[in-house]
Amino acid sequence: MLLFAWGSLVACSFAYLNNYNQTPGEIGSISAEASLPLRRPPAEKQWLLSMGIHPQCPCTRASLAELERLMVHLDRLVHTRVYVFKPSETDSSWLETPLMKKLYGVAGVEILLDQDGQIANQLGILTSGGVMLFDREGQLKFRGGLTSSRGHEGDSLGTQAIRELVYGRNPLQHHAPVYGCKIIAKREPLQ
Amino acid sequence: MKTEAFRLEAEIKESIFERELRELQRLTDRVFGYLLVAQWFFGVGCAVIISPKTWEGMSSTTHTHVWAAIVVGGALVSLPLWLIWKFPGEPLTRWVVASAQVMFSGLLIHLMGGRIEAHFHVFGSLALLAFYRDAYVFLPAVALIFLDHLFRGLFWPESVFGVFTPSVWRAFEHAGWVLFETIFLLWGIHQGREHLRKLSQLQLSLMKERDSLEGRVQQRTSEVARARDYSEHVLDSLDAAICILDCEGKILSINHAWREFAESNGSGARSCFEFENFLHACDAAAEIQGKAVSDLAAAIRVVIEAQAETRVVEYPYHSGSKMRWFQARIAPFVGDDEAAVVVAHVDVTERVIATRSFVEQSRRATSLAQIIHESPNEVYIFSQADLRFEEVNQGACEATGYNRKELLRMTPVDLKSEFDSCTFRQHLEPLRQDQVSMLEFQTIHRRKGGETYPVQVKLNKSVFQGVPVYVAFVTDLTAVQQLEHQLSQAQKLESIGQLAAGVAHEINTPMQFIGSNIEFFQQSMPQVLHLVDQMREWLGKEAIDTEPESRLLALQELLDQKRYDFLREQIPAAIEDCAEGVQRVVEIVSAMKAFSHPGTQDKSMANLNEMLSSASIVSRNRWKFVAEMQLELDPQAPEVLCHPAELNQVWLNLIVNAADAIAENHPEGELGKIWLRSYFEQEQLVIECEDTGGGMPDSIVQRVFDPFFTTKDVGKGTGQGLAIAHDIVVNRHGGTFEVESTEGQGSLFRVCLPLSSDDADPADAESLVESKLA
**What residues of chain B lie within 8 A of the CB of A65, using their CB?**
113
Average confidence (pLDDT) over B295-323: 79
Comparing A91 with B264, the larger pLDDT belongs to A91
**Range name among A171-180, B99-108, B217-226, B630-639 with the lowest pLDDT average:** B217-226
pLDDT tens digits, one per residue of B695-754: 888 888 877 777 666 776 655 555 667 888 888 888 888 888 888 988 888 899 999 988
Query: Rounded to whole angstroms, how far apart are CA atoms B763 and B765?
Result: 5
Q: Is the pLDDT of residue B543 over 70?
A: no
Q: How close B20 gets to chain A, by Cα (Å)?
A: 28
Contact between chains at A151 and B51 (C-beta distance less than 8 A): yes
**Range name among A155-159, B92-96, B498-502, B528-532 with the lowest pLDDT average:** B498-502
Q: For chain B, what percentages of helix, strand and coil (3-state, to nearest 5) are there?
A: 60, 20, 20
DSSP 8-class letter at A182: B
Contact between chains at B113 and A61 (C-beta distance less than 8 A): yes
Query: Rounded to whole angstroms, how far apart are CA atoms B742 and B697?
Result: 7
- Average model confidence (pLDDT) across chain B: 81
- Tell me what pLDDT residue B433 has: 87
Q: Is the pLDDT of residue A49 over 90?
A: yes
**What residues of chain A lie within 8 A of the CB of B99, using their CB?**
7
Average confidence (pLDDT) over A51-64: 91
- Tell me what pLDDT residue B542 has: 64
* Residue A85 pLDDT level (bands cut at 50, 70, 90): very high
- Tell me what pLDDT residue B266 has: 56
Q: How many CB pairs under 8 A join A and B?
A: 120
Query: How far from the centroid of its chain's Cα atoms is residue B49's Cα?
Result: 103
Give the amino acid at B437. S
- Tell me what pLDDT residue A35 has: 78
pLDDT tens digits, one per residue of B261-274: 777 765 454 567 77
- Tell me what pLDDT residue B221 has: 83
Average confidence (pLDDT) over B360-370: 87
User: Is the separation of the CB atoms in B101 and B78 below 8 Å?
Assistant: no
**Range name among A105-119, B326-340, B373-387, B425-439 with the lowest pLDDT average:** B326-340
* Residue B213 pLDDT level (bands cut at 50, 70, 90): confident
Query: Rounded to whole angstroms, how far apart are CA atoms B104 and B91?
Result: 20
**What residues of chain A lie within 8 A of the CB of B50, using their CB?**
58, 61
Q: Is the pLDDT of residue B338 over 80?
A: no
pLDDT tens digits, one per residue of B51-70: 888 888 888 888 888 988 99
Q: At B164, is the secondary structure helix, strand, or coil?
A: coil
Cβ-in-10-Å burial (0-12, 13-18, 19+) of B248 comes to exposed
In sequence order, what are the residues at sequence separation of 6 or more whose Cβ sits closer than 8 angstroms to the Cβ of residue B617?
Answer: B506, B587, B588, B591
Average confidence (pLDDT) over B117-125: 85
- Tell me what pLDDT residue B761 has: 44
**What residues of chain B lie within 8 A of the CB of A184, using their CB?**
56-57
* Residue B321 pLDDT level (bands cut at 50, 70, 90): confident
pLDDT tens digits, one per residue of B566-609: 888 888 888 888 888 888 788 777 777 766 666 666 778 888 88
**What residues of chain A lie within 8 A of the CB of B53, using their CB?**
56, 58
* Residue A191 pLDDT level (bands cut at 50, 70, 90): very low
Task: List C-alpha distances in Å: B480 to A180, B42, B488, B593, B766.
Answer: 159, 136, 12, 26, 19
Say yes or no: B497 contacts chain A, CB-CB below 8 A: no
CB-closest option in B56, B99, B100 to A185: B56
- Tell me what pLDDT residue A189 has: 46
Interface test with B, best of A19, A23, A59 (most B CBs within 10 A): A59
Contact between chains at B79 and A6 (C-beta distance less than 8 A): yes
pTM exceeds cut of 0.90: no
User: Is the separation of the CB atoms in A182 and A127 below 8 Å?
Assistant: yes
Contact between chains at A20 and B68 (C-beta distance less than 8 A): yes
* Residue A80 pLDDT level (bands cut at 50, 70, 90): very high
CA atoms within 13 A on the CB side of B617: 21
In sequence order, what are the residues at sequence separation of 6 or more whose Cβ sits closer than 8 angstroms to the Cβ of residue B747?
Answer: B658, B661, B690, B691, B693, B695, B696, B739, B740, B741
- Tell me what pLDDT residue B2 has: 63
* Residue A78 pLDDT level (bands cut at 50, 70, 90): very high
**What residues of chain A lie within 8 A of the CB of B170, using their CB?**
none
Interface test with B, best of A22, A56, A128 (most B CBs within 10 A): A56
Interface test with B, best of A64, A116, A152, A174 (most B CBs within 10 A): A152
Contact between chains at A157 and B163 (C-beta distance less than 8 A): yes
pLDDT tens digits, one per residue of B653-691: 888 888 888 888 777 767 889 999 999 887 888 999 999
- Tell me what pLDDT residue B709 has: 66
**Range name among B226-235, B245-254, B723-732 with the lowest pLDDT average:** B226-235
Q: Is the pLDDT of residue B773 over 50?
A: no
Q: How close B110 gets to chain A, by Cα (Å)?
A: 7
- Tell me what pLDDT residue B599 has: 64
Say yes or no: B61 contacts chain A, CB-CB below 8 A: no
Contact between chains at B64 and A184 (C-beta distance less than 8 A): no
- Tell me what pLDDT residue B674 has: 92
User: Is the separation of the CB atoms in B185 and B132 below 8 Å?
Assistant: no
Q: Is the pLDDT of residue A187 over 50?
A: no
- Tell me what pLDDT residue B687 has: 92
Q: For chain A, what percentages of helix, strand and coil (3-state, to nearest 5) are there?
A: 35, 20, 45
B13-44: b (≥16 Cβ within 10 Å) or e? beebbeebbeebbbebbeebbebbeebbebbb
pLDDT tens digits, one per residue of B623-632: 888 888 898 9
* Residue B615 pLDDT level (bands cut at 50, 70, 90): confident
Q: Is the pLDDT of residue B159 over 80?
A: no
CA dihedral A84, A86, A92, A98 (to 10 degrees): -50
- Tell me what pLDDT residue B141 has: 86
Q: Is the pLDDT of residue B366 over 50?
A: yes
Percent of chain B with pLDDT over 90: 6
Q: Is the pLDDT of residue B222 over 70?
A: yes
Say yes or no: B43 contacts chain A, CB-CB below 8 A: no
- Tell me what pLDDT residue A64 has: 92
Listed by number, the residues of chain B in 109-168 with a beta carbon closer than 8 Å to a beta carbon of chain A are 110, 113-116, 156, 158-159, 161-164
pLDDT tens digits, one per residue of B378-408: 899 999 888 889 889 888 888 888 988 888 8
- Tell me what pLDDT residue A142 has: 92
Contact between chains at B55 and A184 (C-beta distance less than 8 A): no
Query: Rounded to whole angstroms, how far apart are CA atoms B279 and B245?
Result: 9
Cβ-in-10-Å burial (0-12, 13-18, 19+) of B540 comes to exposed
Q: Is the pLDDT of residue A188 over 60?
A: no
Comparing B171 with B447, the larger pLDDT belongs to B447
Average confidence (pLDDT) over A102-126: 89
Q: Is the pLDDT of residue B766 over 50?
A: no
Comparing B634 with B666, the larger pLDDT belongs to B634
Q: How close A185 gets to chain B, by Cα (Å)?
A: 5
Average confidence (pLDDT) over B281-285: 79
**Range name among B288-297, B517-526, B540-549, B661-670 with the lowest pLDDT average:** B540-549
Q: Is the pLDDT of residue A50 over 90?
A: yes
* Residue B558 pLDDT level (bands cut at 50, 70, 90): confident
* Residue A84 pLDDT level (bands cut at 50, 70, 90): very high
